[in-house]
Chain A
Amino acid sequence: METPAGGCCGSGPPLLLSEGEQQCYSELFARCAGAVSGAPGPGPPEAARVASGSATAAAGPVADLFRASQLPAETLHQITELCGAKRVGYFGPTQFYVALKLIAAAQSGLPVRIESIKCELPLPRFMMSKNDSEVRFGNSAELHGSKVPIPYLTTEKNSFKRMDDEEKQETQSPTKSPLASPPSSPPHYQRVPLNHGYSKLRSGTEQMHPAPYEGRQPLVQSEVSSSGGPGAKPLRHQASLIRSFSVERELQDNNSSYPDEPWRITEEQREYYVNQFRSLQPDPSSFISGSVAKNFFTKSKLSIPELSYIWELSDADCDGALTLPEFCAAFHLIVARKNGYPLPEGLPPTLQPEYLQAAFPKPKWECALFDSYSESVPTNQQARELNRTEKTSVKDMTDFPVPTQDVTGDDKQVLKSTLNEVLPKDVPEDPVIPKDSNSLKARPRSRSYSSTSIEEAMKRGEDPPTPPPRPQKTHSRASSLDLNKVFQPSVPATKSGLLPPPPALPPRPCPSQSEQVSEAELPPQLNRAPSQAAESSPAKKDIPYSQPPSKPIRRKLRPESQPTESQEPSTAVGGPASGTSVKPHPTVQKQSSKQKKAIQTAIRKNKEANAVLARLNSELQQQLKEVHQERIALENQLEQLRPVTVL
């Protein structure tokens, strides 16, 4: 028996099921499984779980069902084999769903192969003796959750319409049952009509589990959470409650936007995007420059034209930079694209910057966000997290080096869960999840979760490494001395250009001492000055000049040493120079301290610039040499040829 909770159930190719398919399949499965387990089970969730998770569809009803699909027996055998039932020996939910999908494929004329089920297919048609089932399935052949009349809630209008359609299929028991079922929250009153429709849908076949279905329906309705995920499987009550609230909000929000379910950003996704934004740009109210965003989005491994198109869609004001809402929209589009959604022709209304800004308040500062995020995660994602954690974390570990932060783990789960909702799968049901994870996505990548997790992990994993390499070549004091040797040609010029204003003489608490010391130091420094860059020598000179050569002071004194250093060449003798420089020191000490810092930063910048220029210079020198050599070679050739022509 498969255990609904916990690890993956069974095997089988990942399946991509739309909401309608979810509904039908779960229903069929329940029917087949219910035949085994007998009477409708206990409460709705458990029954559902029984139906979908732990139960296995008995061979008998399954065979009947398959035969009802009116496919040749050979095809059915193939299907059974492919779906893995033979392998595992029973029809678990995964296998069953795969089989149904294969049946649909076969009925559509596609070859019975795993690949066939990866594309969107109409629902399989079963010619049951119950007249309505066929009609029902036929009706529900409209895919793409938002349009599915089956109680995937799009709008109440739809539900009412559906009710009318199914009027003829009414049976008594189901009609009553959903109404009597425990609607978990007020919003469900809106769903009740849908329940009606839904029940009528299933009216054709005998209701093996009116109870579970009852329970399911409100939950099913509430499945359409903010991410619009349809859920055929009943949810946990709490989750449904919460989701119902969010759905209620959504319903009230904008009915017309339901077709945009894949393009609606959930809270969790939003949080995640905002965090990513912040990793790129600390100020949420500012924007990310084009190049930064380009590097970031390139990590998602989408093709450049697609990324270019996504940028076009999301950068509404075409300024080459992404504000937070634009960034969220772009990110969401990328995520959706990675999960197989075709890119829309225009920016969906739910992704418009104005909408995003209005729907979600501007991100609060870190603590608030993380608080809200952490709150939302446990409440909304209980069921999901359980299963997702295992799989996703495993996946991530294997696939990419992922920073083992709890937040990121949650991120992935959340993201995956929301994405799973987005891609109409049944989401957060324990029994369902194992099946989901196995079967749902027919992506070339191993699992749907991994595809998103890979991307997210990649982005997250790579984000830490990508902080820009410190361009500042601020060397430690020791190293600066060494590198200064390199800079000697350019430095004196810049230095002298830089420092004419500050006399910036090093503070001399003991002029006499410093004098003596400086005298002693200067000659050796004079010797060294030609070989070293100006900075080092002034630094060294500063040491004796100032008090005990503590490093900070040495740095400060560097600029001040400049005048001394400039004096150096002029005055061969260090003594008088030091002497003259010593006297003014005490007087300008205070001013110079402030100037020192300013000068230090300027010096550092200049050093960096110098480093760059020096490197450039060396490269150009090399190129020049090469060109010279070429020229020489060419001249030689010319010389060789010339006598020929002359003669």
Chain B
Amino acid sequence: MAQIAVIAKENYPLYIRSTPMENELKFHYMVHTSLDVVDEKISAMGKALVDQRELYLGLLYPTEDYKVYGYVTNSKVKFVMVVDSSNTALRDNEIRSMFRKLHNSYTDVMCNPFYNPGDRIQSRAFDNMVTSMMIQVC
């Protein structure tokens, strides 16, 4: 099980995708709750460290069934990833690299002049990348 979400700066979803399609509502809820944690982490870094703040936020919070990872860009766009707790083979580095790929794809989407920031992401390339990532995780 894996889900990936891209949240805009104003905390509305730009892109949400989950592999087991039936649990979408629960996933939406999880992502929503994790936003609080993300904000907390961002503010906890302190204003002074804004420049040095690392984009990868790491494990936001673990629950019984899953772990939630976060990543925030410099433009306050957040990426949230939920993976199965049982998937212990997934290491931090891999998560980091996955976020990096997400970020790159997101940048490519932004480069498209027909994409207005704040729109839902409908790029096929982005979809393909996310699909491949989720396949890799599951």
Residues of A within 8 A of B (CB): 290-291, 293-294, 297, 304-305, 307-309, 311-312, 315, 318-320, 345
Residue A319 contacts which of B111, B115, B123 (CB distance < 8 angstroms)? B111
- Does B124 lie within 8 Å of A312, measured CB to CB? yes
Q: Mark B52-80, 1 if CB is under 8 A from A, else 0.
A: 00000000000000000000000000000
Question: Within the assembled complex, what's the spacing in Å between the Cα atoms of A337 and B119?
Answer: 24
Contacts of B114 in A (CB 8 A): 294, 297, 304, 307-308, 311
Residues of B within 8 A of A (CB): 107-108, 111-115, 122-125
- Does B115 lie within 8 Å of A318, measured CB to CB? no
Contacts of A297 in B (CB 8 A): 114
Residue B111 contacts which of A304, A307, A318 (CB distance < 8 angstroms)? A318
18 A-B pairs within 8 Å (CB atoms) are namely A290-B111, A294-B114, A305-B122, A307-B114, A308-B115, A308-B122, A309-B124, A311-B112, A311-B113, A312-B108, A312-B124, A312-B125, A315-B111, A318-B108, A319-B111, A320-B112, A320-B113, A345-B124
Given A294-B113, A312-B123, 17 new contacts (CB under 8 A): A290-B111, A290-B113, A293-B113, A294-B114, A304-B114, A308-B115, A308-B122, A308-B123, A311-B113, A311-B114, A312-B108, A312-B112, A315-B111, A315-B112, A318-B108, A320-B113, A345-B124
Question: Within the assembled complex, what's the spacing in Å between the Cα atoms of A290 and B123?
Answer: 16
- Does A291 lie within 8 Å of B124, measured CB to CB? no
Closest A residue to B112 using CB positions: A311
Instruction: State how many angstroms separate the Cβ of A294 from the closest Cβ of chain B.
Output: 4
Question: Within the assembled complex, what's the spacing in Å between the Cα atoms of A293 and B125?
Answer: 20
Interchain pairs with CB closer than 8 A, number? 36
Contacts of B115 in A (CB 8 A): 308
Top-7 shortest CB links A-B: A290-B113, A320-B111, A308-B114, A294-B113, A318-B108, A307-B114, A311-B112
Contacts of B111 in A (CB 8 A): 290, 315, 318-320
Instruction: State how many angstroms separate the Cβ of A60 from the closest Cβ of chain B.
Output: 54
Contacts of B125 in A (CB 8 A): 312
Instruction: State how many angstroms separate the Cβ of A330 from the closest Cβ of chain B.
Output: 11
Instruction: State how many angstroms separate the Cβ of A419 from the closest Cβ of chain B.
Output: 24
Question: Within the assembled complex, what's the spacing in Å between the Cα atoms of A309 and B123?
Answer: 7
Question: Within the assembled complex, what's the spacing in Å between the Cα atoms of A319 and B123?
Answer: 15
Contacts of A309 in B (CB 8 A): 123-124
Question: Within the assembled complex, what's the spacing in Å between the Cα atoms of A341 and B24?
Answer: 35
Closest B residue to A291 using CB positions: B113
Contacts of A319 in B (CB 8 A): 111
Contacts of B124 in A (CB 8 A): 309, 312, 345
Contacts of B123 in A (CB 8 A): 308-309, 312
Contacts of A293 in B (CB 8 A): 113
Contacts of B108 in A (CB 8 A): 312, 318
Closest A residue to B108 using CB positions: A318
Instruction: State how many angstroms separate the Cβ of B118 from the closest Cβ of chain A.
Output: 14
Question: Within the assembled complex, what's the spacing in Å between the Cα atoms of A304 and B116?
Answer: 10
Closest A residue to B115 using CB positions: A308
Question: Within the assembled complex, what's the spacing in Å between the Cα atoms of A290 and B115?
Answer: 11
Contacts of B113 in A (CB 8 A): 290-291, 293-294, 311, 320
Closest B residue to A290 using CB positions: B113
Instruction: State how many angstroms separate the Cβ of B107 from the closest Cβ of chain A.
Output: 8
Closest A residue to B123 using CB positions: A312
